[in-house]
Homo-oligomer: A and B are copies of this chain.
Amino acid sequence: MSGRVKGFRFAGVHGGVKAGDALDLGLIVADEPAVAAGVFTRNRVRAAPVTLSERRLKSGLCQAVIVNSGNANACTGKQGQQAALALTRTAARSLRVPSSLVVPASTGVIGVQLPREKIEMAIPDLVQDLSEAGASRFARSILTTDRGPKVAQTEVKVGRTTCRVLGIAKGAGMIHPNMATTLAFVTSDAPVRRATLSKLLRQATELSFNRATVDGDTSTNDSIYVLASGAATRGAIKENSAAGRRFLGALTEVLESLAKKVVADGEGAEHLVRIEVCGARTDADAVQIARTIAGSQLVKTALHGCDPNWGRIVAAAGRSGVRFNLDHASVQIGRVSIFRQGTPIMTPKTELKAAATMKRKEYQISVVVGSGRGLGHYWTCDLGHEYVRINADYRT
């Protein structure tokens, strides 16, 4: 696949937010107003671009997204709100579209005012840079401490037409050293109604980014934007149709792939681990247990040490707030059983095997908590020295 989506152009330039000549200004533009939806951080402290984007996306339409990295425009008061507004106006003028159809996103340091004039001066260059093949430049322009760009794409059949779904994200953990944090942009040429897109995005987010943690610190800027141009084919995907389910599948696939890339790039992380919980009374119970295990510092340092420390896993499950019977609990690392029906069964041999599994870059820990039908998972990474180094030594 090509990183192209019908009806969209992308750009990425250096706009003077970051030092040197690193790309720090990105733009996605739809040829015509696209059906659009967004999900935004649940943090009460929200960056200026988050507030403005959420308000504008209520219309269900959007034609351009302008993104800067290197500065979160968060905790910047009225001046920050005015800056976010001004950038969308300047971009709208250059693009000759209504400013109500332009939304901003920012990521970087909290509490520093945006260099608004520098960015405004770079906007003509940015518009000049737009091209159908520009997704990779855009993907680079939104990065902060990421090890590299994060792109995921898939295809989905709508009628006889193959539509594309292209996702681009940044983020090296739910937190960053004074950075903020995860942004994801999805474009598709599939035809989707506004209300449908909004619902499907919520469902897909729940199954992807809301099942991923690096350290539990929700940022002030987390946002996902989806724009669907409908340029591939006519008609409209309905929510409860075969095409709707396929589109939800494609959107979830792309967002989950991006979420996994974010966790795998978690600061200092060496392992990407899927915590799967089954046998709970409800799916919500299973996800709650998986989330608690995935977020436990104790478990995450054991993952770092490749230590099949089932006691920490069981203890984390125990404090999840979900009721379950320890006598029916089992733990498996990869394919190695180490705790079964409430009883430790780890031998020196299985301990070695489990530890070997834990040396892999990606593996699964399965936890059974009973005989219910509730099933859920969470993606997490290990907590190592590098995480502490990055986060303790960032400014001082």
Q: Please determine whether B297 and A396 come into contact, CB atoms closer than 8 angstroms.
A: no
Q: Please determine whether B42 and A305 come into contact, CB atoms closer than 8 angstroms.
A: no
- Residue A395 contacts which of B217, B307, B394 (CB distance < 8 angstroms)? B307
Residues of B within 8 A of A162 (CB): none
Residues of B within 8 A of A389 (CB): 385
A298 touches B (CB below 8 Å): yes
A391 touches B (CB below 8 Å): yes
The verdict on A217 contacting B301 (CB below 8 Å), with A111-B311, A344-B75 known, is: no
Q: Which of A31-46 contact B (CB under 8 A)?
A: 42-46
Chain A 220-264, CB within 8 Å of chain B: the 1/0 string? 100000000000000000000000000000000000000000000
A337 touches B (CB below 8 Å): no
- Which stretch of A3-11, A84-92, A119-127, A317-325 is in the interface? A317-325
Residues of B within 8 A of A178 (CB): 309, 311-312
Residues of B within 8 A of A218 (CB): 315, 318-319
Closest to A304 in B: B392
A21 touches B (CB below 8 Å): no
Residues of B within 8 A of A319 (CB): 42-45, 217-218
A110 touches B (CB below 8 Å): yes
Q: Please determine whether B111 and A306 come into contact, CB atoms closer than 8 angstroms.
A: no
Q: Please determine whether A310 and B111 come into contact, CB atoms closer than 8 angstroms.
A: yes
Q: Please determine whether A220 and B315 come into contact, CB atoms closer than 8 angstroms.
A: yes
Closest to A42 in B: B319
Q: Please determine whether B44 and A323 come into contact, CB atoms closer than 8 angstroms.
A: yes
Residues of B within 8 A of A323 (CB): 44
Residues of B within 8 A of A175 (CB): 297-298, 312
Q: Please determine whether A216 and B395 come into contact, CB atoms closer than 8 angstroms.
A: no
Residues of B within 8 A of A392 (CB): 301-302, 304-305, 307, 382-384
Chain A 317-353, CB within 8 Å of chain B: the 1/0 string? 1111011101100000000000100111000000000
Residues of B within 8 A of A388 (CB): 301, 304, 383-385, 387-388
Q: How far is the CB of A337 from the nearest CB of chain B, in Å? A: 14
Closest to A46 in B: B318
A73 touches B (CB below 8 Å): no
A141 touches B (CB below 8 Å): no
- Residue A315 contacts which of B110, B312, B385, B395 (CB distance < 8 angstroms)? B110
- Name, among A314, A320, A322, A394, the residue most crowded by chain B CB atoms within 10 Å (CB to CB): A314
Q: Please determine whether B310 and A215 come into contact, CB atoms closer than 8 angstroms.
A: no
The verdict on A315 contacting B217 (CB below 8 Å), with A344-B75, A388-B383, A389-B385 known, is: yes
A180 touches B (CB below 8 Å): yes
Q: Please determine whether B343 and A77 come into contact, CB atoms closer than 8 angstroms.
A: yes
Q: Please determine whether B44 and A297 come into contact, CB atoms closer than 8 angstroms.
A: no
A74 touches B (CB below 8 Å): yes
Q: Please determine whether A324 and B44 come into contact, CB atoms closer than 8 angstroms.
A: yes
Chain A residues in the interface with B (C-beta under 8 A): 42-46, 74-77, 109-112, 175, 177-178, 180, 215-220, 296-298, 301-302, 304-307, 309-312, 314-320, 322-324, 326-327, 339, 342-344, 355, 382-385, 387-389, 391-396
Could you list some 30 contacts between A and B, CB below 8 A?
A42-B319, A43-B318, A44-B317, A45-B317, A45-B318, A45-B319, A45-B326, A75-B339, A75-B344, A77-B342, A77-B343, A110-B315, A112-B344, A178-B311, A180-B311, A215-B298, A217-B315, A218-B319, A298-B391, A301-B387, A301-B392, A302-B392, A305-B391, A306-B396, A307-B395, A307-B396, A382-B392, A384-B392, A385-B385, A388-B388
